[in-house]
Amino acid sequence: MKKLIITSTRTHAGKTTIGTGIAMNSNMDCGYFKPLGDRPVYSKKALLDRDTEVFKEWLGLDVDPNDCSIGFEHEKIRSSCQLEGASQTLIDKFEKVSAGKELMIIESGRNFTFGSSLCMDADSLGNTLGGDIILVTEGDARLIIDKVIAAAKVFRSTDSKLAGVIVNKVSEEDEYMLDEDIIPALDEENVNYLGHVPLHPELEKARTALVVEKLHAKLVAGANGLDKRIQKVMVGALSADAALRMPAFQNEGKMLITGGDRVDLILVSLSEDTAGIILTNNVLPHPRILSKADQLNVPIMSVPMDTYTTAKMVEHIVAELMPDDLEKKELIKNLVKDGVILDKIL
């Protein structure tokens, strides 16, 4: 059985993107294990990791998501593993989900150090479960080089096997850095370069449903439009006339954040290409407006926060992968196939 431990230099670097991409291109019977969850979804008194759901759905895994992880919180994991010890729990769970598999994707916590106190960081996973470590990185060239070298030192010190580095989210204008800076620096440190995945704007865009979930917003209209992808978030502070003169306001997939009493702005935003309207301060507009939004499939959601707080919260929403987002699934499969040197990995 081939075991790949996917870790990263920092959080949200794209571990799940790379993991699913490799698995989908492997033509092998795959399994997934993520001992430390970090994308919690609480529903019907059960706690699952969203990434597990993505793997299960995209790869058609026949697995109980509860078996794919040990927990989310250090305190809870320590408490639940105290009898048999965290390492033993790790091994037991892994054996259960990996039975009969040809390839196991093992995803670490937020970054390569996360979970050290529980012996569940990337290095410990390599030592306990065995397998090749793939380090996913992104960002500025100097930071990438510094962090990769630091990580490589850690892995070498314990004889963990670092298979190499994949650079994620590389913009077209930054591609030159790969050849000029990053690859030579990795060569110098004897770290394998395993390819890169370009920055694709569609991967950075969330769907309206995710915003409703993340804000715990009350959806008051337009439930049929939740699949829309958000291209641009705007705070509705201008008058309707001024907003209409803004080119950005004409964008398809705009999401507007404004107060429920800004009837003028809400009305001019009600078009089929609007991804959603977030109404702040719990103020709702007239039911006729909600009915119009229903007709046009424009999701309208209400939150109790003020506009500033809401805008900050929306800004921090990361466009996570969702199990039912099949457009992203295909996109990732192709991007990884084209950019990652799969022969060196599988």
Partner 1 sequence: MDTITQMEKMFAPRSVAIIGASDRDGSIGHSLVKNLVNGGFEGDVFPINPRYPEVFGKKCYGSIKDIPIVPDLTLLAVPAEVSNATIKEACEHGCRMFINIASGFAEVGRRDLEWDMKETLAEYGARMLGPNVFGVYSAKASMNATFGPSVVKPGNVGLISQSGALGVALMGKTVTEGIGLSAVVSIGNKADISECEALEYLGHDDITEVIFLYLEGAKDGRRLMDIAKKVSKKKPIIAIKSGSSEKGALAAASHTGSLAGSDKIFTAALEQAGVLRALNLEDGFGWLRAMADLPIPEAEGMVIVTNGGGIGVISSDSAERYRVRMLDDTEMLEELFRPTMPSYGSTKNPIDITGQGQNKEYEMALDIALEDDRIPAIVGLYCQTATGDPTEIAEAAISSIKKSKKKKPIVFSMVGGKGIAESIAELNLAGIPSYASPDGAMSAMGALYKRYRRLKVEDEEPEDFQMDLEKIKSIIKNTWDKGMSNLTEDDCNLILKEAGLTFPSSAVAKNLEEAKKVANEIGYPVVMKILSPDILHKTEFGGVRLDLEDDEELEIAYESIMATVRNRFDKARINGVMITSMIKDATEMILGFSQDPSFGPVIMFGMGGIYVEILQDVAFRVAPISRKEIMGMIREISSYPILAGARGKNLRDIEALADAISRISYLSNHVPEIVELDINPLMAMDQGKGCLVVDSRMTIRGEVK
List residues near partner 1 by CB under 8 A: 37-40, 42, 45-47, 71-73, 75-76, 79-80, 214-218, 220, 259-261, 263, 280-284, 286, 302-306, 313, 316
Half-sphere exposure of 57 (CA within 13 A, CB side): 15
Angle at alpha carbon of residue 196, lines to 191 and 201, rounded to 5°: 150
For the CB of residue 116, give the shortest distance to partner 1 in the complex, in Å.
17
Query: Which contiguous run of DSSP H or E holds residue 244?
Result: helix 240-245
For the CB of residue 313, give the shortest distance to partner 1 in the complex, in Å.
8
For the CB of residue 33, give the shortest distance to partner 1 in the complex, in Å.
18
If the CB atoms of residues 224 and 282 are measured against partner 1, the closer one turns out to be 282
If the CB atoms of residues 223 and 248 are measured against partner 1, the closer one turns out to be 223
If the CB atoms of residues 180 and 306 are measured against partner 1, the closer one turns out to be 306
Task: Identify whether the C-beta of residue 259 lies closer than 8 Å to the C-beta of residue 278.
Answer: no
DSSP 217: P
Selection from 73, 3, 9 nearest residue 35 by Cα: 73
For the CB of residue 71, give the shortest distance to partner 1 in the complex, in Å.
6
Q: Which residue has the tokens 């799969």?
A: 342
If the CB atoms of residues 77 and 133 are measured against partner 1, the closer one turns out to be 77
For the CB of residue 180, give the shortest distance to partner 1 in the complex, in Å.
35
DSSP 216: T
For the CB of residue 209, give the shortest distance to partner 1 in the complex, in Å.
16
End-to-end distance of the chain based on CA atoms, in angstroms? 11
The span from the CA of 246 to the CA of 253, in Å, is 15
If the CB atoms of residues 45 and 179 are measured against partner 1, the closer one turns out to be 45
If the CB atoms of residues 75 and 179 are measured against partner 1, the closer one turns out to be 75
The span from the CA of 12 to the CA of 123, in Å, is 19
The span from the CA of 185 to the CA of 149, in Å, is 9
